């Protein structure tokens, strides 16, 4: 399997539609925390409505903390390196490999939790904006954070960790005074997704489930989750047997080993850190599934898992490059 384009190449391809964004070459210096202003005239002040009310950003932020697990990707795509960021635990820095060259040489600070962050640690970073669009903190934490800097939380009525990629990018770009660049990033990412759908038309209408094995159980991701959205973006449909279990309170359905029959379909995408992991080992019930009999089970690598899970304007190209051909091969 081809290693795919370098992270910097991916980023530059995405921002090709942004006339004010300069993608560096190998001779350029590393991106600095607080890049030169490209904010549209009159962009500030800007008020953003969210789950806990509204927040007004008075002027262009320069020191941004991202508390949403995927928020840093959108900020980095807009050429600003957060002074502090959280992220999923399977990356030590919280950032996937598609960001490597975008943060090279920058001083990074990992925030351990998005839902119960260390308030003192964040205050010591002296941010002028805190972004928590893909975060799980509650109103009490929001109030504490607001004593430090303006806080942009997830859109009202949206469950934690379920904000769609395009909406999250739009909110973050607006908060940074760059809404047109955010729209262009979304447009470029959508174009790559449509290109993949055109390349693999046979995916359209097939059933597929993304699943995470844990503690002897299985989490089947719903359409509102990034992993479910990735499959749907390629044309797959989440099986009705799974969506019928949705209580409306979670982003996945928990299945016992006795109910793995609900995972049956045309494709099973197993979220794993090791593509050699065998989800069927030790559980004979999998032998009854057509998807297993047809050998249509694709197990991710760590970075493929990360790319699908982050579902950002930077990670989606990585996921398409690496996973779409593997899915196609499994279904052939």
3-state secondary structure of 232: helix
- E-strand stretches of the chain: 46-50, 53-57, 64-66, 84-85, 129-132, 151-153, 208-214, 217-221, 252-255, 267-270, 297-299
Predicted local distance difference test score (pLDDT) of residue 150: 98
3-state secondary structure of 15: helix
Tokens of 191: 């174009």
| Residue closest to 323 by CA, chosen among 164, 186, 190, 210 | 210
Count of C-beta atoms within a 10 Å radius of residue 155: 18
Question: Where does residue 23 fall: left (phi above 0), alpha (psi -120 to 50 degrees), or beta otherwise?
Answer: beta
3-state secondary structure of 235: coil
With beta carbons less than 8 A apart as the criterion, state whether 164 and 316 touch. no
Ranges of the chain whose pLDDT falls below 50: 1-11, 15-36
Instruction: Give the DSSP per-residue string, 274-315.
Output: -TT--TTTT-GGGGG-HHHHTT-EEE--HHHHHHHHH--TTH
3-state secondary structure of 185: helix
With beta carbons less than 8 A apart as the criterion, state whether 127 and 65 touch. yes
Q: Which residues contact 84 (CB under 8 A, 6 or more apart)?
A: 65, 66, 108, 109, 110, 111, 121, 122, 125, 127
Predicted local distance difference test score (pLDDT) of residue 37: 55
Cα–Cα distances (Å) from 126 to 103, 111, 121, in that order, read 19, 14, 9
Cα–Cα distances (Å) from 40 to 54, 85, 129, in that order, read 22, 25, 18
Length of the chain in terms of residues written: 332
| Residue closest to 248 by CA, chosen among 121, 330, 158, 134 | 158
| 55 vs 135: CA distance, rounded Å | 16
Question: Any alpha helices (H) in 60-178, and if so which ranges?
Answer: 71-77, 100-103, 119-124, 139-146, 165-175
Spell out the domains of the chain, with CATH numbers in brackets.
Answer: 40-190 (3.40.50.1980), 200-331 (3.40.50.1980)
Rounded to the nearest 5°, which phi and psi values hold at 269? -100, 110
Cα 168-40-146 angle, rounded to 5 deg: 50
pTM, two decimals, is 0.86
Tokens of 162: 């379920």
Predicted local distance difference test score (pLDDT) of residue 248: 73
Rounded to the nearest 5°, which phi and psi values hold at 293? -60, -35
Rounded to the nearest 5°, which phi and psi values hold at 57? -100, 115
With beta carbons less than 8 A apart as the criterion, state whether 28 and 154 touch. no
């Amino acid at each position: 399997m081809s290693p795919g384009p370098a992270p910097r190449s991916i980023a530059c391809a995405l921002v090709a539609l942004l006339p004010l964004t300069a993608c560096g070459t190998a001779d350029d210096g590393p991106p600095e925390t607080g890049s030169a202003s490209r904010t549209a005239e009159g962009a500030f002040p800007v008020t953003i409505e969210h789950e806990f009310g509204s927040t007004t950003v008075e002027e262009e932020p320069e020191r941004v903390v991202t508390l949403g697990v995927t928020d840093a990707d959108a900020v980095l795509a807009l050429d600003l390196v957060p002074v502090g960021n959280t992220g999923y635990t399977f990356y030590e820095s919280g950032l996937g490999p598609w960001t490597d060259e975008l943060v090279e040489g920058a001083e990074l600070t990992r925030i351990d939790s998005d839902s119960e962050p260390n308030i003192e640690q964040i205050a010591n970073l002296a941010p002028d904006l805190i972004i928590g669009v893909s975060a799980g903190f509650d109103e009490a934490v929001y109030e504490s954070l607001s004593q430090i800097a303006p806080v942009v939380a997830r859109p009202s009525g949206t469950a934690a960790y379920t904000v769609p990629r395009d909406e999250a990018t739009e909110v973050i770009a607006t908060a940074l005074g760059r809404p047109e660049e955010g729209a262009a990033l979304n447009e470029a990412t959508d174009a790559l997704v449509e290109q993949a759908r055109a390349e693999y038309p046979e995916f359209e209408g097939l059933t597929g489930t993304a699943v995470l094995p844990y503690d002897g159980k299985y989490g089947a991701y719903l359409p509102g989750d990034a992993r479910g959205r990735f499959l749907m973006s390629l044309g797959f449909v989440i099986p009705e047997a799974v969506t019928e279990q949705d209580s409306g309170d979670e982003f996945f359905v928990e299945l016992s080993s006795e109910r793995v029959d609900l995972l049956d379909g045309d494709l099973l995408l197993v979220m794993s850190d090791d593509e050699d992991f065998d989800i069927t080992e030790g559980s004979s019930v999998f032998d009854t599934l057509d998807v297993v009999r047809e050998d249509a089970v694709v197990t991710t690598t760590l970075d493929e898992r990360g790319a699908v899970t982050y579902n950002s304007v930077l990670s989606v190209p990585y996921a398409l490059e690496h996973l779409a051909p593997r899915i196609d091969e499994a279904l052939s």
